[in-house]
């Protein structure tokens, strides 16, 4: 069965007390065809080039996945981000920072973004004489909704790269809660995805990451009720200032809006 904790507990109460159960978090199905094709081609290319699959995957993300830059104080290590690399050093207000490029992991890509990654991989394969998909086959695979056995709701709550860029610019590259201007990312939902919060600029803000002392994003998601409340109010004020007719009801996925 699939359901939230309460539904499952109610159901479990009625079960035979001697039986054993295993509980796993339910994940929506992705477009198996598109994903499978990607990993199959990647392993073929990996054999041909004699480069490990993981390394090759990182190379692909570097070229074909949306990226953004974050600043990390020079004396701090970057943690918890899978695909990133140090690009340069800068000095800001007398402090030294490393500039990192962060690449979006494939499971976070939107339909279109994944199509670009897959097309890029096909190009690389062709150069090595590996048989790939024809443009028509590729189009058909990608138009199946792309990563897109993803539900409509799930797609609607994704944040596209263009929204991230707009939000980052709108917020002046600062955390909208504490004003911090490094280790920030434009990827926080005001109304969370779990409640159907849309990936639109009116619902997305820049917050500082776990790498900072304030950790506004982490606190907003996992902090105490009081922390979440205070941060939520600040985000709300910020968004209201930016959008005169901002309305919380417009930020939530509605079935009938398809």
Q: How far is the CB of 222 from Zn ion (least distance, A)?
A: 14
User: Judged by CB, which is closer to Zn ion: 124, or 171?
Assistant: 171
Residues 6 or more apart from 204 whose CB is under 8 A from it? 159, 163, 164, 167, 186, 187, 188, 189, 190
User: Judged by CB, which is closer to Zn ion: 70, or 175?
Assistant: 175
Angstrom distance (rounded) from CA 176 to CA 238: 7
User: Judged by CB, which is closer to Zn ion: 33, or 227?
Assistant: 227
Q: How far is the CB of 210 from Zn ion (least distance, A)?
A: 11
Q: How far is the CB of 242 from Zn ion (least distance, A)?
A: 17
Q: How far is the CB of 189 from Zn ion (least distance, A)?
A: 15
User: Judged by CB, which is closer to Zn ion: 57, or 164?
Assistant: 164
Q: Which residues are paired to 168 by β-bridges?
A: none
Angstrom distance (rounded) from CA 241 to CA 165: 19
User: Judged by CB, which is closer to Zn ion: 191, or 216?
Assistant: 216
Angstrom distance (rounded) from CA 83 to CA 73: 18
Q: How far is the CB of 176 from Zn ion (least distance, A)?
A: 8
Query: With helix as H, strand as E and coil as C, how does 185-229 read?
Result: EEEEECCCHHHCECCCHHHEEEEECCCCCCCHHHHHHHCCHHHHH
Residues at the site binding Zn ion, with contacts judged by CB under 5 A? 175, 177-178, 180, 208, 214, 216
What is the secondary structure of 120-155 as a DSSP string? HHHHHHHHTT-----HHHHHHHHHTTTTTTS-HHHH
């Amino acid at each position: 069965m699939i359901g939230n904790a309460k539904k499952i507990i109610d159901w479990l109460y009625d079960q035979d007390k001697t039986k054993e159960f295993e509980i796993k978090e339910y994940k929506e199905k992705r477009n198996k065809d598109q994903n499978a094709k990607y990993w199959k081609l990647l392993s073929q290319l990996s054999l041909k080039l004699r480069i490990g699959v993981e390394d090759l995957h990182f190379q692909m993300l570097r070229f074909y996945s949306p990226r953004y830059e974050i600043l990390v104080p020079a004396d701090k290590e970057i943690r918890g981000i899978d695909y990133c690399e140090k690009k340069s050093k800068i000095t800001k207000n007398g402090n030294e920072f490393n500039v990192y490029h962060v690449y979006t992991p494939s499971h976070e890509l939107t339909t279109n973004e994944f199509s670009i990654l897959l097309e890029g991989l096909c190009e690389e394969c062709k150069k090595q004489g590996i048989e790939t998909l024809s443009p028509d086959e590729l189009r058909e695979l990608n138009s199946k909704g792309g990563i897109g056995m993803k539900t409509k709701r799930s797609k609607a709550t994704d944040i596209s790269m263009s929204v991230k860029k707009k939000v980052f610019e709108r917020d002046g590259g600062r955390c909208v809660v504490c004003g911090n201007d490094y280790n920030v990312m434009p990827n926080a939902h005001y109304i969370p995805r779990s409640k159907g919060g849309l990936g639109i600029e009116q619902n997305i803000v820049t917050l500082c990451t776990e790498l900072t002392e304030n950790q506004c994003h982490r606190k907003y998601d996992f902090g105490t009720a009081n922390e979440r409340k205070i941060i939520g109010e600040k985000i709300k004020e910020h968004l209201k200032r930016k959008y005169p007719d901002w309305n919380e009801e417009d930020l939530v996925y509605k079935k009938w809006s398809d």
